[in-house]
Amino acid sequence: MRYEQIDKELFVRNRKRLADLLEPGAMAIVHANDILPANADGVLPFVQNRDLYYLSGVDQEETVVIIFPDAAEEKDREILFVRETSELLSIWEGEKLSKEQAIGVSGIGQVNWSSSFEAHFHRLMPQARSVYLATNEHLRAQVVVETRNARFIKECQGRYPLHEYRRLAPLMDELRVIKDKVELEQLQKAIDLTETGFRRALGFIKPGVGEWEIEAEYLHEFVSKRSKGFAYPPIVGSGKNACVLHYVDNNETCSDGEMVLMDVGAEWANWNADMTRTVPVNGRFTERQRDVYNSVLSVQRGSMDFLRPGVTQQEWRDYTIELMEAELIRLGLIDADDAKEQDPNDRHLVKKYYMHGIGHHLGLDVHDVGNAYEPIKEGMVFTVEPGIYIREENLGVRIEDNILIGPEKNLNLFENFPVEVEEIEEAMNS
């Protein structure tokens, strides 16, 4: 790993919190993700299962965690399995974690090689009253490739059909949605790194540069600071491309008079930043660009203020649409009388120019886990990202910050980023 080792006490606390939620006599088992094939003998970069990482801090393949608080022997209450380094593996890929290193990373005292998992698992199953198994239950998940966890569920239920099985996902969602102080430190590092990339881009953008070149400026900044790189495929869209919500081609040239929308975030130690900024290619906003930009900024700030403990996400979305409708009327994009006559449950006039949600949970996943129907709580982190997309004008503006829900007020983790029109123009022209 490139990043500095994280204090193992974070993962000790995470396991303790999960153990407190398990039923008496229950055992929880989480497997690492697979290394996925690409083409020929190629493979895709490894991405760790976030639940396993949250519980262990181990960032390598063929890892398994067992948490069994009521196991008969104390040594079996937490067990970590890691891949053993062979001579061939050390030559071709390098050494994996030793048992001693795995203890240091995770704080788990019982570490075994992954090859011994089956024996330990079958030794412990007779003791377990119920078993919590890991699934991906994110509302947007489209699981088309069978995971190690999914294969294990089939094997486990086939061999032990009379055990009681439980879903681990709701418990992990409940835990991960509230951020630990150490998590917030890692998340802030990802955000600070995103800021340095953004400031670098502001000094680089001018008419004639390619969207791909702007992307490269960010990537250089991120990787040179020991990040793996982007938290997600970056969006760098100029002109009409800024109106394509998931535009990732980044293959056109930025022209004088256009705006360029950059939805970019750095990864740090598996935590993710998520930023969007929209700036004028030539460094100066036109009057129309300024008006649209300030409308988006006004909606964002009003939406941030409303995002407080006790509010539901549906109430937050509805409130934001009210703010957006007022700004679209001010900009002359929709008629006030037409707005009054539309179905309040549809708001199709607003959706023509603002067609996505206002934000999402953020953490180890960019679209992090969390129950969309639970009220907002202190300690959650959200993105706040309104946008206005005027396709007939080839003008799209989105502004996105990351917000920590605090006890008395929210904390904008992007507080050092240029965001006002004057700040952006000064940064681009200094």
Q: Please tell me the predicted confidence (pLDDT) of residue 421.
A: 98
H or E stretch at 271: strand 271-272
Q: Please tell me the predicted confidence (pLDDT) of residue 98.
A: 97
Evaluate if residue 1 carries a pLDDT over 80: no
Q: Are 145 and 272 within one domain?
A: no
What does the pLDDT average to over 362-376?
95
Evaluate if residue 178 carries a pLDDT over 80: yes
Q: Where are the beta strands (DSSP E) in 281-420?
A: 381-384, 387-390, 395-398, 401-404, 411-412
CA angle, 262 then 267 then 270, to 5°: 145
CATH label of the domain that carries residue 14: 3.40.350.10
Q: Please tell me the predicted confidence (pLDDT) of residue 430.
A: 86
Residue 95's CB: how many other CB atoms inside 10 A? 11
More confident residue, 52 or 340: 52
Q: Please tell me the predicted confidence (pLDDT) of residue 142.
A: 85
Please name the residues in contact with 26: beta carbons below 8 A apart, sequence gap of 6 or more.
Answer: 68, 69, 70, 128, 129, 130, 131, 132, 166
Domain boundary among 116, 144, 176: 176
Residue 294 lies in a domain: yes
> In which band, very low, low, confident or very high, does the pLDDT at 144 lie, cut at 50, 70 and 90?
confident
Taking each helix axis from N to C end, the angle separating 9-21 and 169-176, rounded to the nearest 10 degrees, works out to 130
Domain boundary among 176, 193, 218: 176
Taking each helix axis from N to C end, the angle separating 181-204 and 421-429, rounded to the nearest 10 degrees, works out to 60
Residue 419 lies in a domain: yes
Q: At 89, phi and psi to the nearest 5?
A: -65, -40
Q: Are 55 and 126 within one domain?
A: yes
Structurally, how many domains does the chain consist of?
2
Residue 400 lies in a domain: yes
Report the C-alpha gap between 231 and 211 in whole angstroms: 18
Q: Are 68 and 199 within one domain?
A: no
Q: Please tell me the predicted confidence (pLDDT) of residue 139.
A: 84
Q: Please tell me the predicted confidence (pLDDT) of residue 313.
A: 96
> In which band, very low, low, confident or very high, does the pLDDT at 2 lie, cut at 50, 70 and 90?
confident
Residue 79 lies in a domain: yes
DSSP 107-159: --SEEEEGGGHHHHHHHHGGG-SEEEE-----TT----S--HHHHHHHHHHHH
Q: Please tell me the predicted confidence (pLDDT) of residue 348.
A: 87
**Which residues form the domain of 52?**
9-176
Report the C-alpha gap between 114 and 55 in whole angstroms: 17
Residue 2 lies in a domain: no
In the structure encoding, which two tokens stand for residue 117, read together? 């998992």
> In which band, very low, low, confident or very high, does the pLDDT at 143 lie, cut at 50, 70 and 90?
confident
CATH label of the domain that carries residue 386: 3.90.230.10
Compute the CA torsion angle 126, 132, 136, 139 (nearest 10 deg).
150
Q: Please tell me the predicted confidence (pLDDT) of residue 346.
A: 80
Q: Are 149 and 224 within one domain?
A: no
Q: Are 128 and 247 within one domain?
A: no
Q: Please tell me the predicted confidence (pLDDT) of residue 118.
A: 97
Residue 245 lies in a domain: yes
For residue range 209-262, what is the model confidence (pLDDT) as tens digits? 999 999 999 999 999 999 999 999 999 999 999 999 999 999 999 999 999 999
Residues constituting the chain: 430
What does the pLDDT average to over 269-288?
98
Q: Are 150 and 63 within one domain?
A: yes
Q: Please tell me the predicted confidence (pLDDT) of residue 140.
A: 85
As a whole number, the mean pLDDT across the chain is: 96
> In which band, very low, low, confident or very high, does the pLDDT at 6 lie, cut at 50, 70 and 90?
very high
Give counts: helices (H), strands (E), the chain.
14, 16
Please name the residues in contact with 3: beta carbons below 8 A apart, sequence gap of 6 or more.
Answer: 226, 227, 268, 269
Q: Are 186 and 281 within one domain?
A: yes
Q: Are 79 and 170 within one domain?
A: yes
Residue 165 lies in a domain: yes
Helix (H, G, I), strand (E, B) or coil at 344: coil
For residue range 110-139, what is the model confidence (pLDDT) as tens digits? 999 999 999 999 999 999 999 999 999 998
| Terminal alpha carbon distance of the chain | 37
In the structure encoding, which two tokens stand for residue 82, read together? 């890691």
3-state helix, strand, coil in the chain (%, to 5): 40, 15, 45
Q: Are 245 and 109 within one domain?
A: no
Q: Are 172 and 192 within one domain?
A: no
- 419 residue type, one letter: V
- Selection from 223, 217, 220, 219 nearest residue 201 by Cα: 217
Report the percent of the chain where pLDDT is more than 90. 94
For residue range 185-215, what is the model confidence (pLDDT) as tens digits? 999 999 999 999 999 999 999 999 999 999 9
Residue 1 lies in a domain: no
Q: Are 169 and 195 within one domain?
A: no
Q: Are 244 and 314 within one domain?
A: yes
Please name the residues in contact with 55: beta carbons below 8 A apart, sequence gap of 6 or more.
Answer: 11, 14, 15, 18, 30, 65, 67
For residue range 324-349, what is the model confidence (pLDDT) as tens digits? 999 999 999 999 999 888 887 788 89
Are the CB atoms for 346 and 325 separated by under 8 Å?
Answer: no
State the Rg of the chain over Cα: 24
Per DSSP, 253 falls in state B
Domain boundary among 176, 192, 227: 176
Residue with tokens 């969390």: 370
> In which band, very low, low, confident or very high, does the pLDDT at 3 lie, cut at 50, 70 and 90?
confident
Are the CB atoms for 264 and 194 separated by under 8 Å?
Answer: yes
Evaluate if residue 355 carries a pLDDT over 90: yes
